[in-house]
Structure 1
Amino acid sequence: MSDNNKPHPLIRAEAIKQLQEHSFSHPWNPNSEIKGFFLSDAVGLQRIGFHLARISPGKESFVYHSHQFEEEFIYILSGRGIAEIDDEEYEVAVGDFMGFPTPSVAHHLKNPFDEDLVYIMGGERREVEIADFPRLQKRMFRNRQDVQIADWENLKPME
């Protein structure tokens, strides 16, 4: 017997096609544009994010960043892209997998090619996270829904 208040744990391929496609652009990267489906939300997962994502030609994912607590991964389904990982660029294509254990190296995904880059991305959803943006010299602190940003020059050790 199932609880009627919870989403069903199975979502079929046809139902996925009917989900609302979300679009996200990172405020610090004018070339950031990801479109996709929040599959984990559709089945009620709360501690893991699992998303079907797409980057159009000439667009990028987020902004070059690293995580302190939330592990994440990317699996390429179709198309090609450039993964920036720890200040090196790698061409990625169908079947390639990237995993970022914490504390992670900085990473970013972009699509300079002429077809969509389609991939699965996922990772942990912790209540507290710290992320660094090394090229912008900023640090994000997130505690549940409260997000604060600090410039690296303003970070001081506690005395």
Structure 2
Amino acid sequence: MSQKKDAFSHPLLVRAADHAQVPQQSQSHPLNPASLVRGLSLSELTGLKRLGIHLLKVAPGKESFIFHSHQSEEEFLYILSGRGIAEIGEERYEVGPGDFMGFPTPSVGHHLLNPFEEELVYLSGGERREVEVADFPRLGKRLVRFGMQAAIYEVDSGHKLSFEEE
């Protein structure tokens, strides 16, 4: 097996030096005004269809998305740098570099917050199934997604609240 010493480029390889050239996207969860995550989808850059792998950053004082649980898609978080507070079920844990969280389905509710002064950087990944149900237990709401179309419902009433395309 030969190795090239020069800058090797391949559509299935994303080098760390390439990150600076790829525009980062910002995203927030519509049900959480404190949510603000920026980063990039490594899986999309390499064409992965069944897995989502994202390099994400949460600024000081911000949160990842919203406390949620999954019914069919497993998810993981791996902290690269900074510190955060992981909400897992009703417990809170300080997390830092090298800490890993895995959420098999049906998952317990989980969420990441950054109350610290340093940016929190982590890898987030999981399955990309055609159908997913995610609950927002603290809000009594449920997201149902078929492909790229998603709707949010009140759990108790079953009435549809909104419809959105991802």
Shift of 1:95: 0.5
1:110-129 to structure 2, matched below 5 A, reads 110-129=113-132
Q: Matched residues in 1 for 2:16 and 2:111: separation?
A: 28
Residue 93 of structure 2 is matched in structure 1 by 90
Matched, 1:132 2:124: no
**Match for 2:19 among 16, 21, 42?**
16
Correspondence list, 1:3-82, <5 A: 8-82=11-85
CA RMSD after TM alignment: 1.2
For 1:28, give the aligned amino acid: L
TM-score, reference length from structure 1: 0.91
2:52 match: secondary structure: strand
Aligned to 2:162: none
Matched residue SS, 2:145? strand
Distance 1:13 1:142 in 2: 32
| 1:113 match: secondary structure | coil
Q: Distance in 2 between matches of 1:103 and 1:155?
A: 20
Moved segments of 4+, more than 6 Å: none
Give the secondary-structure state (helix, strand or coil) at the position aligned to 1:46: coil
Question: What's the secondary structure of 2:61's corresponding residue?
Answer: coil
Percentage of identical aligned residues: 59
Q: State the Cα distance separating 1:13 from its structure 2 match.
A: 1.5
Aligned: 1:144 with 2:147: yes
TM-score, normalization by structure 2 = 0.88
Tell me how far apart the structure 2 counterparts of residues 155 and 120 of structure 1 sit (CA, whole Å): 34
Aligned partners of 1:45, 1:94: CA distance in 2, in Å?
26
Whole-angstrom CA distance in 2 between matches of 1:12 and 1:84 = 32
> Which residue in 2 is equivalent to 1:4?
none
User: Which of the residues 102, 110, 120 maps onto 1:99?
Assistant: 102
Question: What is the alpha-carbon distance in structure 1 between the residues aligned to residue 76 and residue 20 of structure 2?
Answer: 23
Structure 2 unaligned segments of length 5 or more: list them: 1-9, 160-166
Q: What stretches of structure 1 of length at least 5 have no aligned partner?
A: 1-6
| CA displacement at 1:11 relative to structure 2 | 1.6
Please list the CA deviations of residues 18-69 of structure 1 after superposition, one character each: whole Å capped at 9, or x if unmatched.
Answer: 1110100100000000000111100111110111100000000001000000
Q: How far did 1:130 drift?
A: 0.3
Count of residues paired in the alignment: 150
